[in-house]
Structure 1
């Protein structure tokens, strides 16, 4: 695995690199309409971006706080050429650490069905029935931190 680092911050600081990753993965690769990708929650979320040693953004995820005890991971993505070498796991683990530091009791996410086993390997459990989000099958998943 190449040398990388993760920066975590507010949208004002992380917008450019986060948009770079999300545009490459969600808009260009998966065909999600730009108006469906960008939402008001970006402004209030905590964003984690994984960079290589040259400052190139390779991965992104955001952490929302829908309630005092629950946090939600979203917009998790790693650019195509950097997949399969642990970068997604590093991003997810960084956000789970943030949730623990904030004393959250549960982490939730809406996993694309193709990524369900990735999240299950990190302790997330599927809840409910599959559903469609922007034309892509998803599954609600949860991780208890208590």
Structure 2
């Protein structure tokens, strides 16, 4: 099953988010691994950049930090959230942060038990094993390239991340979707089971999609992946009508792989850092942000992977559905 768990990353302010960071690291390192609190919490914390992972209810589930010299550390994920890509997202987020700060290399002291995890992302060991806080470690490092701009990311995209906002109603989801379309630059990605009419038949949203497609002379593109095209064919959906009238701008593909068809959430991601995530495609409990790059990147990359293996919905090119 395609794995986009219901969590997101955000930068953590050490002072404001200290209770959450303290909770996570106490649970994982002090309680679970038996590391002394005076070792776990050091003076370097205040000088580091921190990332925190939160679930859909904004509860902290994981964290990590990056020192001014590029050392990644204090990677902690609660047991219930392991093997759900939280650690992967934190690591990638910290590496990206280092690149954005102009660092050419990141290092870490990796626990031997977690060495395979780091090696999957290109880290190499440096020197012999050693004990740190009574646990076997080894030094690792990764050379990172200069950061490349995200695909189709606008140079005037908002700089400040906006914490995720909880969604609970169709009305709130419709307002968020409209904002994402209006803020998009040249690319908008939609992943939906059957283009729920409560969202995608809203006139303001369809009109915004039309204007988005037509206002960008350099070539705007709306990419849509659906899981149940047969359920859409019998409906009179304004979005499908628009796609038929603007086939050069709006492309629709159908998921074909079992793991993609079994994926239950739905989401929207634009090329300006914004996203909307529904925990289930037929419900509106979820979260969104006009600019939260870490979560946007996660969804955009998953969308691209599915897009490449999805089939073109040629049936939606015909006027008679």
Q: Which runs of 4+ in 1 moved over 2 A?
A: none
Residue 57 of structure 1 corresponds to which residue in structure 2? Answer: 60
Distance in 1 between residues matched to 2:20 and 2:10, nearest whole Å: 10
* Pair 1:14 & 2:13 matched: no
* Pair 1:85 & 2:84 matched: yes
- Which stretch has the larger CA shift, 2-11 or 127-136? 2-11
Residue 100 of structure 2 corresponds to which residue in structure 1? Answer: 101
Q: CA deviation at 1:77?
A: 1.0
Q: Which has the higher contact order (CA 8 A, sep 6+)?
A: 1
Q: Deviations over 1:9-43 (max 9, x none)?
A: 33112211111110000000001111111100111
Distance in 1 between residues matched to 2:7 and 2:79, nearest whole Å: 16
Distance in 2 between residues matched to 1:14 and 1:61, nearest whole Å: 12
* Pair 1:123 & 2:122 matched: yes
Q: TM-score, normalised by structure 2?
A: 0.43
Structure with greater strand share of residues:
1
* Pair 1:132 & 2:137 matched: no
Gaps (5+ residues) in structure 1?
none
Distance in 2 between residues matched to 1:140 and 1:34, nearest whole Å: 22
Q: Let me know the Cα RMSD of the aligned residues.
A: 1.0
Q: CA deviation at 1:105?
A: 0.7
Q: CA deviation at 1:132?
A: 0.3
Residue 265 of structure 2 corresponds to which residue in structure 1? Answer: none
Q: CA deviation at 1:4?
A: 0.9
Distance in 1 between residues matched to 2:66 and 2:96, nearest whole Å: 11
Distance in 2 between residues matched to 1:14 and 1:130, nearest whole Å: 33
Matches within 5 A, 1:23-34: 23-34=26-37
Q: TM-score, normalised by structure 1?
A: 0.94
